Structure 1
Amino acid sequence: MSAHIRVVHKRRETITALPLYHAGHLLKKQNKEKDFKEYYGEIRGATLFLYKDDTQDTYTEMLDLEQLKSVELDTFYKKKEPTIFTLSLSSEKVQLKLDNPDTAEVWRGFILTVGKKDIPKNLQLLPGQMMQLKETLSQERKRNPKLCRGPTLPPRPMFLKSLDSNNDSTSPPKDKSTTELPSCFFDVTRQEAEQMLKANPEYGSIILRPSTLTNNYALTLRQPTPSGPVIKNYRLTHTNSGFVIELDTPVTASSLNDVLKYFLEKTEHRLHPYVTSQAYDTRIEASPAPKCITLPTAKEVPKAQVAPTLRLQTTEELQSPPVKPEEGEYVNPDDVSPKISHLDDELRRAVQKRRQNIYSNSGREEENQTNEHSFC
């Protein structure tokens, strides 16, 4: 015979030692699984406990909502249809399925409230349900105030203050030991530092980071043990003279580099600072040949268009005018000036015709003279 539901709740509260905020039936599936499995879920503290049914005393699975990054809806809000949303945790992704969209919205509100330590603003809930979320947030803050997240980002250390204050000429010079950061310093939260050490152990085992307390720091390390790796966190309090490592017996150091040196010595240098690996090139490519430089070609100078040169006349030709034959004087055609050779054929024919006329005229005159003597 199964125990009464009240008895079961009392037993679960004794086992988990956490207050109950919300409970109900739901379906759950991981990314590697094909089908959803039915569970009875309870949100106790910042943990979601999953049972096979509502009569089981001990839980089957649990999800740490402190590692919650986001909650994304996979289906739109539709009445009388199942609603599926995905929980993105630091180490895995889990899908939850609710038959009623209103019930799914209540589950989403409680998960975000206990995981983010803040009530979401875009919830579609009734006023009474919003009052339950406010009471849950108040109880969770009183239960463990150290786990409550304040601002989204940790407070900025002194070395990250604005440049205006750093460049102020009236302020005294700052100690260089507080501004020189080791290579293993990262501006991350506690959960992010732990995830970095778990995901990439080959990069190192020690991370320095800002603390949630103003102007303080923290150190997160991953130390191997016979039973498996263990994550530890140490607080570093900043003082005027340096830093204080808050151990059972506090240890002082003048700078963060000295803090890191102290941890390396105490662990016999079996741990190493966390330094991300830099990518290296694996191929050598030949450099491209230089482009040919074409020199500008010399422009062709146009040839000058010069008029043909005229033959210069000699001084004698300029001084002595050409001699004209007297009228009636016989001109021998053979004594013609050498310039006739330069005349064209037409001119030559004219000269020949002129010569024939001269001979014919002279023959007629001689014949007339002979006839006159014969009459006498």
Structure 2
Amino acid sequence: MALRTARQRSQLPSCYYEGYLEKRSFKDKASRKLWTSLCGNTLFFFNDMRDTDYIEKVDLSGFISVTDDGSQDCNLDAARFILQIKDINFKFTASSAETRELWKGYIQSVAELSVPSSLNLLPGQIHRLKEAVEKEKERKIDVSQPAVLNNCAYISVQADMPPCYHRVSRLEAELLLVKEAKRGNLLLRPGSNGTSFAVSTRQDLEGSVFRHYRVTRKHEGGFAIDVDNPVPCPTLHDVVNYLVEKTDGVLIPLIIEEAYDKNITFIKTDNDNGETSVQCASSNLILPSLPTKPEEDKDKETEDAPAVPVAQAETKKTKKAVMPPTPVPRKLTFSTSPPSSTTTTTTTTEAVSISELKLKLQQKARGFPRCPSGATALRKRQEGKPPAEARE
């Protein structure tokens, strides 16, 4: 079993035929229904037709034969056939007898590069087998000569091709020119031998008139339109331009531009009624917010930060001193109103107590006789009477 890991499905060789087949080898115990694609000379098997990775492949390079399964225990209603390869045999079961004949025809035609005459198929089906044989011949030539094409600067890159280049066969080119008649009537395509190119044209003259011109590569470089008098052209672009100019613009290159959707739509199912409808996605894009960095990352960034000069670092580290708040001076308020009686009495009492204390200290120090209390003397002064010491 080969897991497909290197190539995408679009990178596989050209697919000639595909469909579901029940596959069983003589080593397998049970058959499996797989989506089978004949791409080039290889059968690729997928679990489902939508899968992009193949689970198995069978190379037809060792092809020996493909025949109907005539075993006695075979179900007569089953369309079975046996593919015999050099090393192993495979049993397949198709969905119908007609499908079995098509599988047998494509496998044998691609493996032997010729259409067998013993198949029971319609003329149109035989014609498709012939086209598959021609494609396989061209593919094998391209695969067998990659080095020669590169060494001689052979044009093989799609980007170097004129826009009217289409990788189609002669018959496909004619059908394409008829289908896309409104877009152009000239196209460039690969040649039948795989080493040259061809120009196919279509014009109307009581019906479609097709012309095919071979374009060969010259040994000294460049290309040439292979007619009675070969026309040399430096590049394939010049080949196309020459044919357009010489026909006064009657021949128009067929350029098919792929259409792309302008709106993003999706199919949505209503959970209430189960109806499905096509919805258009909103064009208002909201950019996702960046996640916050954890503390470890911040510390790491700080460590990894470039060194700062000492003077600059000290400047950054220096901070202004925090000064205490300036005290607001208290305002003195002088009242013009007369003091109340309570204030006056309190002030007088304090003054008398101080005077008595002074007198007591003086008398004690000098041995003077005790004088009347300060309160009595003060009262007598207020009444206009001299103290007792003054009267004596």
Q: Same fold (TM over 0.5)?
A: no
Question: Which protein, 1 or 2, shows the higher relative CO under an 8 Å CA cutoff with sep ≥ 6?
Answer: 1
Q: Which has the larger Rg?
A: 1
TM-score normalised by length of structure 2: 0.38
> What's the TM-score, normalizing by structure 1?
0.39
